[in-house]
Structure 1
Amino acid sequence: MQPEQRPPSETGGESSRQSGSRYRREEIVRLATSTGLASVEELAGAFEVTASTIRRDLAQLTAEGRLARTYGGAMALLSHAEPSLRQRIGEAFEAKRGIARWAARQVVAGETVLLDAGSTVGALAHELRWTSPLTVATTGLTSIQALADAEDVHVECLGGTLRHLSQGFVGPLTEAALERMTFDRVFLGADSVTADRGICEAELEQTRLKELMARQAERVYVLAHATKLGRRPFHAWAQLPDGWTLVTDDGAEPGAVAPFHAAGVEVVVVDAEGHVAGPPD
């Protein structure tokens, strides 16, 4: 993280120091907007000032409504608005379909599987219509609709509070239902995913639920097309247990996939038909 240019000198008079502070705060907003998050340590190093100075800057920017404070730093407001499920359904359609087809072939008739909310997992639910007998528990309206008339698929609807943006259920009622069940496999969606922090979501309530979902299953899969890898658009994170599998599409760049391999994550790269394409060269 580097500012575009060095700020005006803060060693001169009062006017110069004020100018330098204004410049630095504008740059902090720019950096937070471009990266999604900005930590106190990174900002102090970038501007060659103390952590206390940065904390005062963040407090001022928060008071002005330009940033939101997070643990250890800040995030930009409104720079990464969460898209609705309707907006996401049409994005990367071929990639999502390929991921869903591969994921469906992992499910064995007679299993009990858990499906997250989201467009890619919803595509998987459609593919599972022909895998029977099967028990599917889900927090997503899209999956419920896809399986509603699949007679040999027993569907458990994990109700709770509906998030209209994601068309999924969250909250204590959803969590209470989950705690009474275990699963052979869970398929999780993600706003983004990184090798070091796990799944990134817009709200902490979502990440708490995803962590619980992962704990209740023997096998954990994260379905995320290429543009979701390595991004950090929000401040809420779900940590994943060891041994999880990332399923992505063959549009993923080598640099985006490499951190997952290095972290010991199993990575499956598939083409639009759901066939394993292998890691990108």
Structure 2
Amino acid sequence: MTTAKARREEIYHLAVTTGLASVEELSRHFAVTASTIRRDLAQLNEQGKLARTYGGAVALGAHPEPSLRQRTGEAFEQKQAIAAWAAAEVKEGESILLDGGSTVGAMAHALRDRENLSVTTPGINTLQELADSPGIQVDCLGGRLRELSQTFVGPIAEAALERMSFDRVFLGADAVTVDAGLCEADQAQTRLKELMARRGNTVYVLADSTKLGKRPFHAWVRLPAPWILVTDNRADPEQVELFRQSGVTVQLVDLAPAQAA
């Protein structure tokens, strides 16, 4: 039988490595009551190891939010392949909404030479990519600038969305899980993503395989089906099947053999 000390050490290990599941899931995992798990989380919080959140906890300092520049260099081949596939989905004459983030920014780069497009975005990197594209009308969702993500958020951006609709919406995420949805470091970002998803006829989530099933932060948005998860062919088959069983369409983008090995 697992001792309380060993259980708490494993809970902390989960928070540091993959992020914590909900109290209910932890209760089932350790075969103890939810109140026992809450006491474990409370003690870890008192020790300064975890920060309490609604329904669970996250490790303090275990998952510092990387800057946009740092994220751009991570999983580079996967992001480029996903971005190219997503850009090919966009048709001439469409109005699209591009989220912030490194993968969606790579998609914007792939659209630079397109004609007769309307692009709206809260992301500074997308604005920079498309600023000199004569065939693309660019609109910016203004608001409060988050320095780390280089994305505008807040009530000004949210209010602007109420006057718009789009053929396609492309969202990024720090992580994606079947049960909780899209994960971000900041609740203002998840709130904006929720509103963005409501404004599109077709919604895509661009997330490389390293982001599936992870819980690095504590801000979440659950997207109503149907939506399309675009990831790469390194994705865990079990994760892919879980998403498909939940009603999500999963598009696996092939990488070159040398990259996928």
- Which residue identity does 2:250 align to in structure 1? V
Partner residue, 2:133: 150
Corresponding residue SS for 1:33: helix
Corresponding residue SS for 1:88: helix
Partner residue, 1:271: 254
RMSD: 2.1
Q: In the alignment, is the contact (CA less than 8 A) between 1:97 and 1:272 conserved in 2?
A: no
Asked if 1:259 is matched to 2:203, the reply is no
Q: In the alignment, is the contact (CA less than 8 A) between 1:37 and 1:235 conserved in 2?
A: no
For 1:128 and 1:103, locate their aligned partners in 2 and report how far apart those are by CA, in whole Å.
10
Corresponding residue SS for 2:251: strand
Partner residue, 1:107: 90
C-alpha displacement of 1:38: 4.5
For 1:33 and 1:121, locate their aligned partners in 2 and report how far apart those are by CA, in whole Å.
27
TM-score w.r.t. the length of structure 1 is 0.84
- Which residue identity does 2:172 align to in structure 1? G
C-alpha displacement of 1:42: 4.3
For 2:146 and 2:54, locate their aligned partners in 1 and report how far apart those are by CA, in whole Å.
25
For 1:25 and 1:253, locate their aligned partners in 2 and report how far apart those are by CA, in whole Å.
28
For 1:266 and 1:60, locate their aligned partners in 2 and report how far apart those are by CA, in whole Å.
41
TM-score w.r.t. the length of structure 2 is 0.90
Q: Which of 215, 235, 249 does residue 232 from structure 1 map onto?
A: 215
Please say which of residues 259-268 and 212-221 is displaced more in the overlay. 259-268
Residues 198-217 of structure 1 mapped to structure 2, 5 A cutoff: 198-217=181-200
Partner residue, 1:61: 44
User: Measured at CA, do residues 135 and 50 of structure 1 come closer, stay the same or move farther in structure 2, by a change above 3 Å?
Assistant: closer
User: Measured at CA, do residues 47 and 244 of structure 1 come closer, stay the same or move farther in structure 2, by a change above 3 Å?
Assistant: closer
Please say which of residues 217-226 and 58-67 is displaced more in the overlay. 58-67
User: Measured at CA, do residues 130 and 75 of structure 1 come closer, stay the same or move farther in structure 2, by a change above 3 Å?
Assistant: same
Please say which of residues 191-200 and 39-48 is displaced more in the overlay. 39-48
- Which residue identity does 2:78 align to in structure 1? A
- Which residue identity does 2:88 align to in structure 1? R
For 2:10 and 2:211, locate their aligned partners in 1 and report how far apart those are by CA, in whole Å.
26
Q: Which of 15, 37, 42 does residue 20 from structure 2 map onto?
A: 37
C-alpha displacement of 1:128: 1.1
Q: Which residues of structure 1 form unaligned runs of 5+?
A: 8-20, 274-279
Aligned-residue identity in percent: 63
Asked if 1:98 is matched to 2:94, the reply is no
Asked if 1:76 is matched to 2:59, the reply is yes
Cα displacement string for residues 85-115 of structure 1 (whole angstroms, at most 9, x for unaligned residues)? 1111111222111111111111111111000
User: Measured at CA, do residues 196 and 59 of structure 1 come closer, stay the same or move farther in structure 2, by a change above 3 Å?
Assistant: closer
User: Measured at CA, do residues 226 and 52 of structure 1 come closer, stay the same or move farther in structure 2, by a change above 3 Å?
Assistant: closer
Q: Which of 136, 139, 162 does residue 145 from structure 2 map onto?
A: 162
C-alpha displacement of 1:117: 0.3
For 1:97 and 1:229, locate their aligned partners in 2 and report how far apart those are by CA, in whole Å.
17
C-alpha displacement of 1:212: 0.2
Deviation >6 Å, runs of 4+ = none
